[in-house]
Structure 1
Amino acid sequence: MLMIIERADYMKKIIAAAAFFALAAACVPAFMPAVIESSAPVCRITSPSVRTFSETVNGTGEFSYETERDVTCALPVVVSRLYVGEGDLVSPGDVIAAVDKKASAAFIESLGRMNMLSFAAADLQAATALIPEKISADCSGRVISTCGSNSAVQSGAPVVTVAQGSELGIVAAISELDIAKVKIGQEVMFTPSAFPNELFLGKVSAISSAARSRYNGAVLETVVDVRITPNSPDKRFKSGLSTDVSIVLSEPREIVVLPYSAIEQDETGEYVYVYENGQALRRNITTGKEFSDGAEITCGVTVKEEVFADPKAVAGKKFVRVEGE
């Protein structure tokens, strides 16, 4: 009798254990995804932005009249007095400045010492004899700048600058790599350094027939001068002011842009991870124009899609949670 009871208790334990494991097996499939999901990394998504873009050629330049002439002196001189000022009209032969001969002789002597070419007394006397008492204009036009009274002026440097013509425009240096794209009549946007928060419009009015070399920092580059005529005169524009210019090559169009952080690249090319149906799916893309904050997406992603902001955070992950969900 005792053996039967013990066997019955043993069978009850077996049945209870089987029931427990059966219940656990039924709960695990429902419980595990929640556990896995809670441990999956939380990732941020972003959407492509749309912006209006026009292809441009950029350069730098300065304002100048169509024809400008410098009135100079062959010898270094000290100008004691100017008889003309900005805006005055001059004609050939008009006296524009008086020269201090004694100060000019001392100036010449000091230049000789600086250049280690000491003048003999006879040479200095001969040079002094050639110093003019006055300087006259050798062209007609309107004075746009002067050296100022009591100024020491080097040989060949302008005493005054005369504009021949009334049209103030911009001469911009354009790289030889871009000049083939530039045509007369194209629209130009420009921002003078003196007015950094303002945008002005103009048109390409002339393209130089010859290239020239110039230093851009320490780099020697070849450029072609392009003349730009502002659409509207502005009294604030002055000859010699510098400006940045953008020559518009194409009509405005809308483009899709993604931040650089959302774009990755490997041996097969550029790609992103798109958030689709709860999954992070790799999508190969093609990029176009580059900007300071991102790149144009020409193929692979539309503006309506959501893209993971950090591809490395989702690469190789089967489960990913989206920030905010």
Structure 2
Amino acid sequence: MKKRLSVLFGTTAVLSIGALCLPQIVTGAVLTQVEVTQPAYEDYYEKVSATGKIEEIGQSKLSAQLPLVPKEVYVNLGDSVQNGDVIAEIDFEKTKQAILSMLSLYDAVPEELSSVLETVKLDQETLAAMIPSQIVADYSGVISTLNLTKGAVVSPTETVATIADLSSLRAALKVPEEYAAKLKTGQEVTLKISALDQKKYHGTIEKISPAAQETLVGTSKQTVVNVYVKIEDQDADLKAGYSAVGTIRLSETEPLMTIPYSAIDQQDSGSEFVYLYQNGQAKMRVIATGEELADSVEVVGGLDPDEWVIEDISKVSGNGEFVSLSESKND
């Protein structure tokens, strides 16, 4: 009996010594080196990007009710005009011949001109009353389009000139309908202009269209809401017609607790997890994530701000693995 107890005692002593030596054995092994980090706080606000164009806030389009032939054209593209300025003189005889020529081909006249030509009488008195002697500006601004050439017939289906107020431009953006409920006047907008090497401008939402509309995006249709942005730092480089991409700020800034994407993995169940560094071991922790940022993701549950997370989860083979801190983290 005593001999058995002696053997048992000897075995227990060996196991106890082995247990005491285990940390030393592990320490002596080649362990995976890892870097660790604590959650950081990053400023975040919700935003949406939308494409659009730079356009004039105010403009007037001049058109003719009859075919007209200019005798003289007094303006060029880019000229400034005032309300009441004469843009062109009309050649009565050539215009009359143009009208009569069109009437002789009445059957071939486009349908949209039929109602106009039906009212035309061939007597001189009526023609004289109908043909204007001049084309006059009805708005003050800059000639942004011009379809008048001396001696050339202008069709009544054409806009003969557009007069635009280029002193004040705005951006017209098309915002996807899913963000419509979050849009408000006064929200901040940053504009990037492709024609100006992505130069930035700043503004605020001034007007939101009361109705949505369908537009073609690539090869598919998308429902959008038109948003009009007042540009606060307009300069001479910005021109109507330029393409723009606007980033609309939808919420106030708030701090988010974040960790790098490299620190997160996903279980087969879909749950996301990280490995914490605790007493020389990698300990698995299931977490809940929120907003996805450029280089990191928000953590909304399962992690405290003062805990140490292994930055590159791919270096850990499993829960409980013994690891060592890289020298850069021990310095």
TM-score, structure 2 as length reference: 0.66
Structural RMSD (CA): 4.3
Task: Pick from 39, 45, 67 the counterpart of residue 54 of structure 1.
Answer: 45
Moved more, 304-313 or 174-183: 304-313
Paired position in structure 2 for 1:38: 29
Query: Contact 2:176/2:222 (CA < 8 Å) preserved in 1?
Result: yes
Task: Pick from 83, 86, 103 the counterpart of residue 78 of structure 2.
Answer: 86
Q: Deviations over 1:157-197 (max 9, x none)?
A: 76643225843111111111101100112222222223456
In 1, Cα distance between equivalents of 2:261 and 2:67: 57
The secondary structure found in structure 2 opposite 1:39 is coil
The secondary structure found in structure 1 opposite 2:195 is coil
Q: CA deviation at 1:204?
A: 0.9
Query: Contact 2:171/2:228 (CA < 8 Å) preserved in 1?
Result: yes
Query: Contact 2:166/2:240 (CA < 8 Å) preserved in 1?
Result: no
Letter in 1 for 2:219: A
Q: How does 1:1-325 map to 2 (within 5 A)?
A: 30=21, 33-34=24-25, 37-71=28-62, 83-89=75-81, 91=83, 94-95=86-87, 136=135, 139-143=138-142, 145-146=144-145, 160-163=161-164, 166-196=167-197, 198-266=199-267, 267=269, 269-316=271-318, 318-324=321-327, 325=330
In 1, Cα distance between equivalents of 2:67 and 2:262: 60
In 2, Cα distance between equivalents of 1:97 and 1:286: 74
Distance of aligned partners of 1:31 and 1:249 in 2 relative to their CA distance in 1, 3 Å threshold: closer
Distance of aligned partners of 1:168 and 1:291 in 2 relative to their CA distance in 1, 3 Å threshold: same
User: Which stretches in structure 1 are left out of the alignment for 5+ residues?
Assistant: 1-21, 100-121
Distance of aligned partners of 1:28 and 1:250 in 2 relative to their CA distance in 1, 3 Å threshold: closer
In 2, Cα distance between equivalents of 1:142 and 1:197: 28
In 1, Cα distance between equivalents of 2:262 and 2:66: 62
TM-score, structure 1 as length reference: 0.67
Query: Contact 1:175/1:222 (CA < 8 Å) preserved in 2?
Result: yes
Query: Contact 1:262/1:311 (CA < 8 Å) preserved in 2?
Result: yes
Letter in 2 for 1:300: G
Letter in 2 for 1:230: I
Paired position in structure 2 for 1:10: none
Distance of aligned partners of 1:158 and 1:51 in 2 relative to their CA distance in 1, 3 Å threshold: farther
In 2, Cα distance between equivalents of 1:97 and 1:302: 80
In 2, Cα distance between equivalents of 1:164 and 1:197: 24
Query: Contact 1:142/1:163 (CA < 8 Å) preserved in 2?
Result: yes
In 2, Cα distance between equivalents of 1:309 and 1:242: 41
The secondary structure found in structure 1 opposite 2:21 is helix
Distance of aligned partners of 1:68 and 1:49 in 2 relative to their CA distance in 1, 3 Å threshold: farther
Moved more, 181-190 or 163-172: 163-172
Q: Deviations over 1:247-298 (max 9, x none)?
A: 2122212223323222111215111111123221112212111133232222
Query: Contact 2:56/2:164 (CA < 8 Å) preserved in 1?
Result: yes
In 2, Cα distance between equivalents of 1:67 and 1:250: 31
Letter in 1 for 2:229: I
Q: Deviations over 1:83-112 (max 9, x none)?
A: 32314115578435999xxxxxxxxxxxxx
The secondary structure found in structure 2 opposite 1:237 is coil
In 1, Cα distance between equivalents of 2:29 and 2:143: 74
Letter in 2 for 1:281: K
In 2, Cα distance between equivalents of 1:320 and 1:162: 73
Q: CA deviation at 1:216?
A: 1.2
Q: Deviations over 1:234-256 (max 9, x none)?
A: 22221111222122122212223
Letter in 1 for 2:227: V
In 2, Cα distance between equivalents of 1:96 and 1:286: 71
Moved more, 315-324 or 80-89: 80-89
